[in-house]
């Protein structure tokens, strides 16, 4: 089988087998096993579930081995069968991989052989007890041979080339038996990536979401199905191998079925799952991109916004130029038949494009899109406005006492574009302050902010002035 990761190896317990510690356990040949595999991915780890069909055997004691990634969480390993009658007597995890240090340590003091090519007085095969390495020192019938000729050969012993799980199980195997193996491993992750295309009239945005799957392990996964879970999973303090991890157990309900190759969406109470019920292959040290959410059209608007943290207790002398941000505001809703639910959007990188008057799609910017539940608005920072600028300065500063000042701020906006724009202005004022005067009525303000909504005509300027009394 190509997928070494999915192999469950059942071989006869011979003297040279690493599983020869208990001789009365029988092991089946590898060719007798078929498997199915499912992978559930979270933000930074994966749950691997493999189903194995064991053939009918007269034996009641079996030894099972399974190759696993080095990043496995050893405390998360589970084995179960369809009848519940198979008993696990012992589980062993071996990660002492074959390397120079391990085999040298294991061979010292052991009987080894040197194979000698050609005619040699010592013969074609030299056997003895190995006393040291580098240079080699061999004891043969009470005689010491330094740097013996030939090539050192030795039995495999307890060495493994990949991390391996070993089970000793008991049960009635006179009928076909299905067993499931499950464990968690790091080095497996997924993330959502969003492409958004703003329509020319800026009233709607087309959203297409992809799932980027990353496999940093040394295993390849040939899957019957794949699930992606969105949400913040609570984990123990030590997320590496040997740590504890609580499995996600929740009732689920199907919300939406895909018809375009994207995933099926299910609500898992506090999480959301996207499932692919089709084969998938994730290569070792590789990535895979799959459609997650089919294209949807969301209501949107392009907004200009100025947010300023205003200090009221110093007296700047020179005008200050400030950037005006361009925001894309979305609402997670869409026109669809009554009774259909709106699929939530998982968080991820959002790349924002716009469609120009020729129909060409052009890149605008990118931002992090936080997870959006059903019918909830959100906004993305596209970039800094080029045609809309603002300068500000203090046009009045008077100190009434050591703790009280009167401050007047002036902001001058300039719209160099060919259409009227609206600018949302939020002045975040520090300290205890009182509004005295303003050149236009402010929006609903609170104790910390002054909010204004300005309309600036094409090619025009607009001046905003307000005066406050502040107390330290």
- The pLDDT profile of the chain, 472 residues, written as one tens digit per residue, is 444 434 444 332 223 333 333 335 565 543 455 567 899 998 889 999 988 887 788 788 888 888 888 888 888 988 888 777 788 888 888 776 555 555 666 777 788 888 888 777 777 888 888 888 878 888 888 888 888 888 877 665 555 567 888 888 888 888 888 888 899 999 999 999 999 999 988 889 999 999 999 999 988 899 999 999 987 766 665 444 433 333 332 333 333 334 456 778 777 666 788 999 999 999 999 999 999 988 888 899 999 999 999 888 777 668 889 999 999 998 887 544 334 456 788 889 999 999 988 889 999 999 999 887 777 788 999 999 999 999 999 999 999 998 899 999 999 999 999 989 999 999 999 878 999 999 999 987 677 899 999 999 999 999 999 999 998 8
**How far apart are the C-alpha atoms of 292 and 210, rounded to whole Å?**
5
| Cβ count within 10 A of residue 329 | 15
Residue 62: exposed, middle, or buried by beta-carbon count in 10 A (0-12, 13-18, 19+)? Answer: buried
Beta bridge partners of 137: 132, 146
The two beta strands, 404-415 and 377-384, are unpaired
Hey, where are the domains in the chain? 4-97+160-185, 100-153, 388-471
Residue 37: exposed, middle, or buried by beta-carbon count in 10 A (0-12, 13-18, 19+)? Answer: buried
Domains 4-97+160-185 and 388-471 share a fold: yes
> Nearest CA to 312 among 433, 395, 401?
433
Cα torsion 442, 318, 386, 439 to 10°: value is: 20
Question: What pLDDT is stored for residue 120 in this prediction?
Answer: 79
Question: What pLDDT is stored for residue 321 in this prediction?
Answer: 92
> Residue with structure tokens 């089709």?
278
Question: What pLDDT is stored for residue 89 in this prediction?
Answer: 84
Question: What pLDDT is stored for residue 101 in this prediction?
Answer: 59
**How far apart are the C-alpha atoms of 268 and 250, rounded to whole Å?**
6
**How far apart are the C-alpha atoms of 390 and 385, rounded to whole Å?**
10
Given a contact cutoff of 8 angstroms between Cβ atoms, the answer to whether 35 and 50 are in contact is yes
- Helix-then-strand count for the chain, H and E: 1, 33
Angstrom CA distances, 383 to 92, 187, 353, 438, stand at 55, 34, 12, 29
For domain 4-97+160-185, which CATH number applies: 3.10.50, 2.60.40, 1.20.58, 2.30.29?
A: 2.60.40
| Cβ count within 10 A of residue 64 | 24
Question: What pLDDT is stored for residue 113 in this prediction?
Answer: 85
Write down the pTM of the prediction.
0.70
CA angle 384, 385, 387 (to 5 degrees): 150
Query: Does domain 388-471 bear CATH number 2.60.40?
Result: yes
Question: What pLDDT is stored for residue 314 in this prediction?
Answer: 76
Alpha carbon of residue 425 to chain centroid: 37
Beta bridge partners of 87: 170
Question: What pLDDT is stored for residue 33 in this prediction?
Answer: 57
């Amino acid at each position: 089988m190509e997928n070494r990761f999915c192999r469950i190896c059942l071989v006869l317990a011979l003297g040279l087998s690493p599983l020869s510690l208990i001789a009365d356990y029988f092991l089946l040949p590898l060719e007798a096993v078929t498997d199915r595999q499912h992978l559930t991915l979270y933000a930074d780890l994966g749950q691997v579930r493999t189903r194995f069909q064991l053939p009918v055997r007269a034996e009641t004691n079996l030894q099972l081995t399974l190759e696993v990634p080095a990043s496995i969480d050893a405390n998360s390993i589970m084995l179960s069968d369809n009848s519940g009658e198979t008993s696990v007597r012992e589980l062993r995890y071996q990660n002492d991989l074959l390397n120079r240090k391990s085999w040298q340590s294991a061979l010292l003091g052991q009987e080894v052989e040197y194979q000698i090519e050609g005619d040699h007085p010592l013969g074609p095969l030299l056997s003895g007890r190995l006393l040291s390495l580098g240079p080699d020192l061999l004891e043969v019938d009470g005689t010491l041979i330094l740097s013996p000729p030939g090539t050192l050969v030795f039995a495999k012993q307890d060495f493994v080339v990949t991390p391996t799980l070993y089970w000793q199980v008991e049960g009635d195997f006179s009928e076909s038996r299905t067993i499931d193996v499950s464990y968690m491993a790091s080095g497996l992750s997924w993330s959502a990536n969003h492409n958004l295309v703003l329509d020319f009239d800026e009233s709607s945005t087309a959203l297409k979401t992809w799932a980027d799957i990353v496999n940093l392990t040394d295993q390849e996964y040939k899957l019957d199905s794949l699930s992606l879970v969105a949400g913040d999973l609570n984990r123990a303090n030590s997320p590496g191998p040997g740590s504890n991890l609580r499995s996600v157990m929740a009732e689920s309900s199907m919300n939406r079925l895909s018809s375009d190759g994207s995933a099926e969406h299910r609500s898992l109470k506090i999480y959301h799952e996207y499932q692919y019920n089709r084969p998938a292959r994730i290569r070792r040290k590789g990535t895979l991109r799959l459609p997650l959410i089919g294209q949807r059209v969301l209501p949107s608007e392009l907004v200009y916004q100025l947010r300023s943290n205003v200090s009221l207790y110093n007296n700047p002398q020179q005008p200050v130029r400030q950037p005006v941000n361009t925001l894309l505001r979305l609402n997670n809703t869409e026109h669809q038949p009554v009774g259909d639910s709106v699929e939530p959007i998982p968080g991820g990188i959002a790349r924002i494009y716009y469609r120009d008057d020729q129909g060409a799609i052009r890149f605008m910017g990118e931002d992090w899109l936080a997870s959006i539940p059903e019918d909830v608005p959100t906004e993305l920072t596209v970039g800094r406005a080029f045609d809309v600028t603002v300068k500000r300065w203090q046009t009045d500063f008077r100190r009434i006492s050591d703790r009280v000042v009167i401050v007047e701020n002036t902001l001058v906006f300039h719209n160099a574009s060919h259409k009227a724009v609206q600018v949302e202005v939020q002045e975040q004022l520090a300290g205890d302050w009182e509004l005295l005067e303003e050149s236009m009525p402010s929006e609903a303000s609170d104790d910390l902010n002054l909010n204004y909504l300005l309309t600036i005509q094409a090619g025009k300027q607009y001046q905003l002035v307000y005066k406050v009394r502040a107390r330290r």
